[in-house]
Copies of this chain bind each other. A is one copy, B any other.
Amino acid sequence: MISSDYTRSLFLTDSDTRIVLLVVDGLGGLPHSETGRSELETANLPHLDALCARGSSGLISPLGPGFTPGSGPAHLALFGYDPWTTAIGRGALSGLGLGLDFEPGDVAARLNFCTVDGAGKVTDRRAGRIPTELCEQLCALLQQISIPGIEVTVAPEMEYRAAVIFRGPGLSDGVTDSDPQVTGQAPLPLQASSATDERMVEVANEFLSQVGKILVEQSPANMVLIRGFGRYPELPSMQQVYGLHPVGIAGYPMYRGIASVVGMDTPETDWDVDAEFDLLQQRWRTCAEEDFYYVHVKKTDSAGEDGDFDKKVHLLQELDARIPRILELEPDVLIVTGDHSTPSVMGGHSWHPVPTVIASKAGFPMPEAQLTERSCAAGALGQIPSTALMALALAHAQRLAKFGA
């Protein structure tokens, strides 16, 4: 609804209010089995709790009850885009995640280095999990590939994983994978979904043919499997939809990638919170036109994924101590939330809704409120979809007109 025809005319573009959306990755958690308290309940978070006491708190759900999102859909929901229908292909996410030169019209795909025998049959789909350094060397070798009219970029990820980006006229992503998913079979022939995808199949086959020749002596990584073809996602930008001038501040390339897909300016920065907050302060003070700041904190999610409850608590406290650095900018609206929950006790993303606070002059303060799962469950915002957050952000920033007379 947020970006529908009904709402688009309601967004006020002549406002000078400014919004900070601080996304603490994997923010929500679950109780520790010994203490019965979650990470947020265990941590001492005086600044975040004070925000809840003076702001409006609640829980947001990226995909609705029960469904666990990846980072891509979870962020799209935060930015107000339907996470179910705004799918971004795996290849495209890799391209974005690596921070590669990846633009509208380009097609990305994932590559796995693999081992094939003399008959061309796959004997190891991961090439013995070659180290990342070797992956980097092999990707450099593959840069010699030349296809007339097409620019090819091959970039390493972790271990045996890499990505390729094709640039040129007439490319598309309706192409099947070559990965047979089992060993003892040859890679599958690529198939076009429709006639318009045949050029892409032709280009990808030429790519695979040259890969085979270049890698022939490089056993165990003497071939690649290709999968997850995906075009650069072409979405209406946040400027088009909301009339905002958004900036994405994220150390980790994938989040800059997702931010750029929705039209944010995405200056490079280091991973750590101090570097990100330095950049926020600098942009805030020097770029008067910018009015929406997405700031991404990654390490809390990693701690949750690692099942490291104490580390997540520690990182939350470190973050809390730095909240005054945002407050001193006096944003009209400060939202602190997460893209999804990553309970340490589960060691991964989960479906549990995410504690959220919106601090502005139009909030509904609850003096006892805290930024915890249980407190936010009883907050003034209620339990709402993550996609509803942007409308609330704009409303609190007085950037949303009345609908109807």
Contacts and interface: CB of A to CB of B under 8 A. Distances in A.
A65 interface: yes
B404 A65 contact: no
Interface in A54-108: 59, 63-74, 83-85, 87-88, 90, 93
Interface stretch (A272-280, A289-297, A317-325, A391-399): A391-399
A34 B265 CA distance: 41
Given A30-B364, A362-B30, A383-B383, A349 B65 contact: no
B404 A364 contact: no
Interface in A338-366: 343, 346, 348-353, 362, 364-366
A149 interface: no
A7 to B, nearest CB: 7
A147 interface: no
A246 interface: no
Given A30-B364, A66-B394, A362-B350, A72 B382 contact: no
Given A6-B84, A90-B405, A380-B373, A400 B366 contact: no
Given A403-B70, A404-B70, A65 B381 contact: yes
- A contacts with B: majority SS: loop
Given A65-B391, A388-B65, A349 B71 contact: no
A378 B377 contact: yes
Contact of A402 (B70, B382, B391, B394): B70
Nearest to A380: B377
A66 B405 contact: no
Interface of A: 1, 4, 6-7, 10, 30-31, 36, 59, 63-74, 83-85, 87-88, 90, 93, 343, 346, 348-353, 362, 364-367, 373-374, 377-384, 388-395, 400-405
